[in-house]
């Protein structure tokens, strides 16, 4: 992996974490879809209605890592709560975080870069 590729993957990982973090501020996923509201019992137990926010530990658990061998970046959480929120449970609605962040990155960063690279490669080419 060359330096430019590594820098791009670092940028991609940081941008995805920023989108995830902004979602916690707004109560939405990275695509702007609101997370399901808490039910009344949960609000009464927690004492507030902020979705996915309690101590802040879950929010702070998201990280990224560049994998030079695979030329990829992985974004995730080491919290066991991620699977419950990402996929939901029988008693709790989905509040996806990682899948929307991945879709956001694809739409806003990866596809535009690919179009730019292809466009630059085709500059001056006539058919």
**pLDDT, tens digit (0-9, with 9 covering 90-100), for 90-112:** 999 999 999 999 999 999 988 88
Q: Rg (Cα) of the chain, in Å, rounded? A: 18
The yes-or-no verdict on residue 115 having pLDDT over 80 is no
pLDDT, residue 52, reads 86
User: Are the C-beta atoms of residues 31 and 101 closer than 8 Å to each other?
Assistant: no
Q: What is the mean pLDDT of residues 109-126?
A: 69
- Residue 2 half-sphere exposure toward CB, CA atoms < 13 A: 1
Is the full-model pTM beyond 0.85?
Answer: no
CA-nearest of 46, 63, 67 to 97 is 63
User: Are the C-beta atoms of residues 97 and 83 closer than 8 Å to each other?
Assistant: no
pLDDT, residue 127, reads 56
- Residue 64 token pair: 């990224």
Q: In the chain, where are the structural domains located?
A: 3-115
d(CA 19, CA 106): 13
Q: Which tens digits make up the pLDDT trace of 26-85?
A: 999 999 999 999 989 988 988 888 888 878 899 999 999 999 999 999 999 999 999 999
């Amino acid at each position: 992996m060359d330096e430019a590729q590594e820098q791009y993957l670092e940028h991609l990982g940081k941008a995805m974490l920023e989108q995830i973090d902004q979602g916690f501020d707004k109560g939405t996923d990275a695509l702007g879809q609101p997370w399901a509201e808490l039910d009344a019992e949960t609000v009464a137990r927690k004492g507030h209605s902020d979705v996915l926010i309690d101590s802040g530990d879950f929010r702070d658990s998201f990280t990224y890592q560049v994998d030079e061998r695979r030329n990829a970046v992985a974004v995730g959480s080491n919290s066991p709560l991620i699977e419950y929120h990402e996929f939901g449970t029988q008693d709790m609605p989905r509040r996806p975080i990682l899948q929307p962040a991945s879709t956001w990155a694809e739409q806003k960063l990866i596809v535009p870069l690919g179009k730019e690279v292809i466009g630059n490669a085709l500059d001056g080419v006539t058919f």
